[in-house]
Structure 1
Amino acid sequence: MGKWIKKNVKTSRGNFEIFIKGEGEPVCVTHLYSSFNESGDYFADTFTESNKVILVNLREAGNSEKEHEPYQLSMLEALFDLEAIRETLGYKMWSFAGHSTGGMLGVLYGIYFSNSLHKLIIVGAAARDYTESENCIYNEKHESFAYMQQLLEGLKSKDISETERINLTENRTKLSLKKPKKFNDYFSKAINKKMCAERLNFFNRELVIFDVTKKLQHIICPTLIICGRFDVQCPVEYSIEMNKSIPKSSLVVLEYSNHYPFLEEEKHFKNSVESFLLNP
């Protein structure tokens, strides 16, 4: 399958660290506060069998450009950075795939830069503050809210050991699996991405005013929306909402998945994605 190849891209907006794997039409993948490395990413791996995947470390993540002003960590600024990367790599257009907050960034990408996108894939995401739903684990009324907050605060700490970080990450992830006991089956690869605390902290402030539902009609590129029926992070109601408002969208709800449908129902997920990307 090959390895992820690290590259440094010098753009008009600074230098950005990217990782490339696969052959075929380009698909950009990123996440709002993940810090990637050569070990790759489970979600991004989904696309490497049929496409060339460009996995991007956003500003402040990994060895990418640092923030020079606080606003540069916003979702809108991330789009300008992605567009600069696309242009520098010489792509007139590419597809974008995002999971969770990466999917939320994808929603914005479609609204403001649909003309840069062949296809758009949004997985387990929302077009507004998903914590408003009582089905969301980040809502105070959810039964696992306090425990999730405890785990997140631990992960933000720069003083924890690698062993502690791995343990906290595992416990956090299990909360978002339909079958937590299958964690080791799902996450068996030697992937060790980290969390960028600066980006997460900024996102938490931005989230409370995030609502682009009235602009979804501006997404004019073909869009595939996928969500697990039991998603506790971005509940399925938000995917249904997006599907109703995005003109060229289709919705796939995976009935036996929580927040990681690309692992929990891998075959169904891949078939849906490949069919969408290969369809003219």
Structure 2
Amino acid sequence: MGDWERNLLKTSRGVFEVFVKGEGEPLCVTHHYSEFNQTGDYFAETFIKTNKVFLINLREAGNSEKAIEPYQLSFLETIFDIEAIREELGFDKWGFAGHSTGGMLGIIYGIYFSNSLKYNVIVGAAAREYMTFSKDCIYNPKHSKFNRMQELNETLKRSDLSTEKRKQLKVERTKLSLFDPEKYDELFYLNISKGMSAIRMNFFSRELQVYDVTKKLELISTPTLLICGRNDVQCPVIYSIEMEEGIPNSKLVIFEKSNHYPFLEEVEQFTEEYNLFIKEHQSF
């Protein structure tokens, strides 16, 4: 697996670090608080055979623009940044694919800028805050693994952790979101390392409390593929079912033997469903 090509892109909203790999129609991939580098990203890697993938470090992630005002870290402002990147790259439209909080960005993108999107792929996400009313969610205090997940997240925010300790804690955290934790080494075998923007993560934790765009889902006009693991402990499957009911031109596929990572846990089915979907919605 080769490295991703790194670009610093000057846009009307500042400079953004963008990693590029693959061939085909352009596809934008990002996550709300991950920090990517040239080793890439497991989710983004899924699409490189079918698309030219643009993996974006958002504001305050990696070498991208800093935030001058806190609100610049919000969902909507982030979409304005992504739109500036699309315009600078010269695409009338591109696809978007987001996993988890990246999928939440995809929902906001679809609501406000469906005209910029050929299609939208939302994996393991939600259109509203998914913890308070959901005991199946690992971020709900009633979940048996809630306390451990909280400890892991808080510890990982520390800057004084040794590389080895950080790696160990990340593995433990990921295993909590796998259908079969024993398969960790088999699934996560590539030399991919990514960081987390603590400032983005902290802003997200606040914005999430008031996040609910369910009433606006009908404004998404772009074809939307929704995918979720039946056993997703982060954004439980009920939220993907709700999104399918709300988004007019959408299709939901539930992966029976997946938790939060269907693109790794059931990789063949994931590739098959995605290929079917883009075949239907590609421009010729």
* TM-score, with structure 1 as normaliser: 0.99
Give the aligned partner of residue 45 of structure 1.
Answer: 45
> How far, CA to CA, are the matches of 1:246 and 1:255 in structure 2?
22
> How far, CA to CA, are the matches of 1:248 and 1:23 in structure 2?
26
SS across alignment from 1:130: coil
Give the aligned partner of residue 168 of structure 2.
Answer: 167
Map 1:1-280 to 2 at 5 A.
2-132=2-132, 133-280=134-281
Counterpart contact for 1:2–1:22, Cα < 8 Å: no
Q: How many residues align?
A: 280
How many angstroms does 1:2 deviate by?
Answer: 4.3
Please give the per-residue CA displacement for 1:218-242, whole angstroms capped at 9, x wherever unaligned. 0000000000000000000000000
Please give the per-residue CA displacement for 1:122-145, whole angstroms capped at 9, x wherever unaligned. 000000001121110000110100
User: CA separation of 1:278/1:3 partners in 2, compared to 1, >3 Å: closer, same or farther?
Assistant: farther
> How far, CA to CA, are the matches of 1:35 and 1:131 in structure 2?
24
How many angstroms does 1:30 deviate by?
Answer: 0.2
Deviates more, 1:83-92 or 1:156-165: 156-165
> How far, CA to CA, are the matches of 2:246 and 2:224 in structure 1?
11
SS across alignment from 1:239: helix
* Partner amino acid, structure 2, of 1:172: R
Please give the per-residue CA displacement for 1:155-192, whole angstroms capped at 9, x wherever unaligned. 11111111111111100000000000100000000000
SS across alignment from 1:271: helix
> How far, CA to CA, are the matches of 2:216 and 2:194 in structure 1?
32
> How far, CA to CA, are the matches of 1:271 and 1:175 in structure 2?
26
> How far, CA to CA, are the matches of 2:96 and 2:162 in structure 1?
34
SS across alignment from 2:231: coil
> How far, CA to CA, are the matches of 2:27 and 2:106 in structure 1?
12
> How far, CA to CA, are the matches of 2:2 and 2:118 in structure 1?
25
Structure 2 stretches of 5 or more lacking a match?
A: none
Please give the per-residue CA displacement for 1:240-269, whole angstroms capped at 9, x wherever unaligned. 000001000000000000000000000000
> How far, CA to CA, are the matches of 2:52 and 2:165 in structure 1?
34
How many angstroms does 1:3 deviate by?
Answer: 3.1
* Partner amino acid, structure 2, of 1:238: Y
SS across alignment from 1:78: helix
* Partner amino acid, structure 2, of 1:194: G
> How far, CA to CA, are the matches of 1:278 and 1:87 in structure 2?
25
> How far, CA to CA, are the matches of 1:17 and 1:117 in structure 2?
21
* Partner amino acid, structure 2, of 1:203: F
> How far, CA to CA, are the matches of 1:172 and 1:72 in structure 2?
28
SS across alignment from 1:230: coil
> How far, CA to CA, are the matches of 2:164 and 2:75 in structure 1?
31
Structure 1 stretches of 5 or more lacking a match?
A: none
* Partner amino acid, structure 1, of 2:216: K
Identity of aligned residues (%): 61
Please identify runs of 4+ aligned residues in structure 1 that moved more than 6 A: none
Please give the per-residue CA displacement for 1:70-95, whole angstroms capped at 9, x wherever unaligned. 11110111000000000000001000
* TM-score, with structure 2 as normaliser: 0.98
> How far, CA to CA, are the matches of 1:270 and 1:2 in structure 2?
20
> How far, CA to CA, are the matches of 2:77 and 2:168 in structure 1?
33
How many angstroms does 1:277 deviate by?
Answer: 1.2
SS across alignment from 1:172: helix
SS across alignment from 2:131: helix
> How far, CA to CA, are the matches of 1:87 and 1:21 in structure 2?
19
